[in-house]
Amino acid sequence: KQEVTQIPAALSVPEGENLVLNCSFTDSAIYNLQWFRQDPGKGLTSLLLIQSSQREQTSGRLNASLDKSSGRSTLYIAASQPGDSATYLCAVRPNRDDKIIFGKGTRLHILP
Amino acid sequence: GAGVSQTPSNKVTEKGKYVELRCDPISGHTALYWYRQSLGQGPEFLIYFQGTGAADDSGLPNDRFFAVRPEGSVSTLKIQRTERGDSAVYLCASSFSVTGELFFGEGSRLTVL
């Protein structure tokens, strides 16, 4: 059974720093992986989708990498800003027709 | 529509009552998902539809929960005999295909007193 873990549960960093959020999954055979952002009391906003054949995806200051063999993905945020404060969730689709499984998220706080 | 729309945004009900939560997906999206999220937790899968049919309903916790998508667009999540433990945010998402990027609505916050 696929399980998704995100550590740490919470993270505070000063504004301007580069940071990495981690996601690990127990079964390396995945179809794709998606990173989301969730603001308090809001729904989820898709950030990046990585297919199993890809190693990374980039969007602006965000870069997500995927290493299936080690069961890991990282979300790199460059030059962090207070507006980046949110919960970041990682989600894995195990197979083509499978439901998507979420981690519990990392709550990020950027200190002004 | 421009995004996934969920109604109501907030619902307060009494234990034992019946509740319906509605999801209007992005136009043209064939896959529709329902998740439930409790405070401090990641979304928990309930059910997903491909077109009108439920492709996977393994996440529905018991037979008090039921979801329909009769015309392959709008979906309704129905909860009978609500219990306090049903209190959560119910999230709906849609995607263009079953393997595509998911787009979420703002959620329906259900509180059972």
pLDDT tens sequence across A14-62: 999 999 999 999 999 999 999 999 999 889 999 999 999 999 999 999 9
Measured between beta carbons, which residues in chain A are less than 8 angstroms from residue B99?
31-32, 93, 96
Backbone phi, psi, residue B38, to 5°: -100, 160
Strand pairing class (B44-50; B31-37): antiparallel
Q: DSSP letter for A70, please.
A: G
Q: Is A62 on the interface with B (CB under 8 A)?
A: no
Q: Which among B4, B58, B102 has the least Cβ separation from residue A100?
A: B102
Query: CB distance B56–A99 less than 8 Å?
Result: yes
Chain B interface test: which of A37, A44, A51, A93 (most B C-beta within 10 Å): A44
Q: Is B33 on the interface with A (CB under 8 A)?
A: yes
Query: CB distance A43–B56 less than 8 Å?
Result: no
pLDDT tens sequence across B81-104: 999 999 999 999 999 987 788 999
Strand pairing class (A4-5; A19-25): antiparallel
Query: CB distance A104–B106 less than 8 Å?
Result: no
Query: CB distance B98–A105 less than 8 Å?
Result: no
CB atoms within 10 A of CB B22: 15
The alpha-carbon gap from A47 to the nearest alpha carbon of chain B, in Å, equals 10
| CA B93, chain centre distance (Å) | 8
pLDDT tens sequence across B24-75: 999 999 999 999 999 889 999 999 999 999 889 999 999 999 999 999 999 9
CA dihedral B60, B62, B64, B66 (to 10 degrees): 30
Side-chain half-sphere CA neighbours of B102 within 13 A: 30
Q: Is B96 on the interface with A (CB under 8 A)?
A: no
